[in-house]
Structure 1
């Protein structure tokens, strides 16, 4: 088994996906506390203190060969500012959950697709996943389309999945296998 303690940056046409840094706290506050951003995510950071704590924990885990979670910042090449985020969670052998978020002001510009494609490539090419999956909260049509656009297939709908503490709702599950990934045309 390959042990990865730090992921090197991945570039897309407009973005650099890299491990979160402490300097990302202010940029994350600019979008993670927005209602539009929080509407379709399970873990909601309610204020600057929560975001600072999240970033500090993510940075502290870097370099630990036991970690199974990688949090990334999506840095816009032009501005050098983090305008989105992504995560990869290594689960049962060779399976990785991925997820993404993007500043609402940057929606409908193709940047979410760039984040999604980068996460898929990291999962298969660097983490050596055989399968990846993601969950999309009910009603989040943009993320459902994005999952399909990056090559994932709809697996199932769960009508009463825990979405936030004490609440449940519809969640859609998407997946892709390693062979599906290497058969994609980009």
Structure 2
């Protein structure tokens, strides 16, 4: 599966991507607001094994894709969409810090919305971020998602409870935006 944006190719991960993934997944700054990481080599290999397993699902429920810059063919991050019932999905994204603030996450996330609504037939797509992750919140706002609320201390990680902000967009809202 390949999805394209103006500047990115979103494609299936392959075993050859392991080192590129590990570069950003092991960076403490990149994973500061994530519920995983920083990754060890073993963590990144476990992730790769899960991603390759996802690709074999029938019917497919989870899509983790490599974000590659078209011009340079450089893998700069990953993004995904995960189906749940009834007709809902969640998107997520993680990019190498050298590529923050350049619009790549927004571009990838917006393409995932299009894929979710047009190809997967979803009704609602949501995303979450930690309250301190203002960059991710801006991505969700930029792609037309609406703030739904502050979910308090619902995730345990790295020895403490974490909050999330939740955003969503409905298919008819996305259609109007497009």
TM-score (norm 1): 0.90
Aligned-partner SS, 1:162 = strand
1:159 aligns with 2:152: yes
The answer as to 2:66 corresponding to 1:73 is yes
* Distance (whole Å) between structure 2 residues aligned to residue 158 and residue 60 of structure 1: 30
What secondary structure sits across from 1:35 in the alignment? coil
Provide, for residues 79-134 of structure 1, a one-character-per-residue CA deviation record: whole Å limited to 9, x for no partner.
Answer: 21211111111111200011111110001111111111111111111111100001
TM superposition shift of 1:158: 1.4
Check 1:159–1:61 CA distance in 2 against 1; reply closer, same or farther (3 A cut). closer
Instruction: Decide whether the 8 Å contact of 1:45 with 1:51 is kept in 2.
Output: no
Paired with 2:158 and 2:32, the residues of 1 have a C-alpha distance of 14
Ranges in structure 2 where 5+ consecutive residues have no aligned partner:
none
Question: In 2 relative to 1, CA 49–79 (structure 1 residues): closer, same or farther, beyond 3 Å?
Answer: farther
Q: 3-state SS of the aligned residue for 1:73?
A: strand
1:134-153 → structure 2 map (5 Å cutoff): 134-153=127-146
Residue 41 of structure 2 aligns with which residue?
48
CA contact (8 A) 1:161 1:168 kept: yes
Shift of 1:22: 1.1
Q: CA RMSD in A?
A: 1.5
Moved more, 156-165 or 102-111: 156-165
Moved more, 143-152 or 87-96: 87-96
State which drifts further: 140-149 or 13-22: 13-22
Match of 2:12 in 1: 19
Instruction: Return 5+ residue gaps in structure 1 as ranges.
Output: 1-7
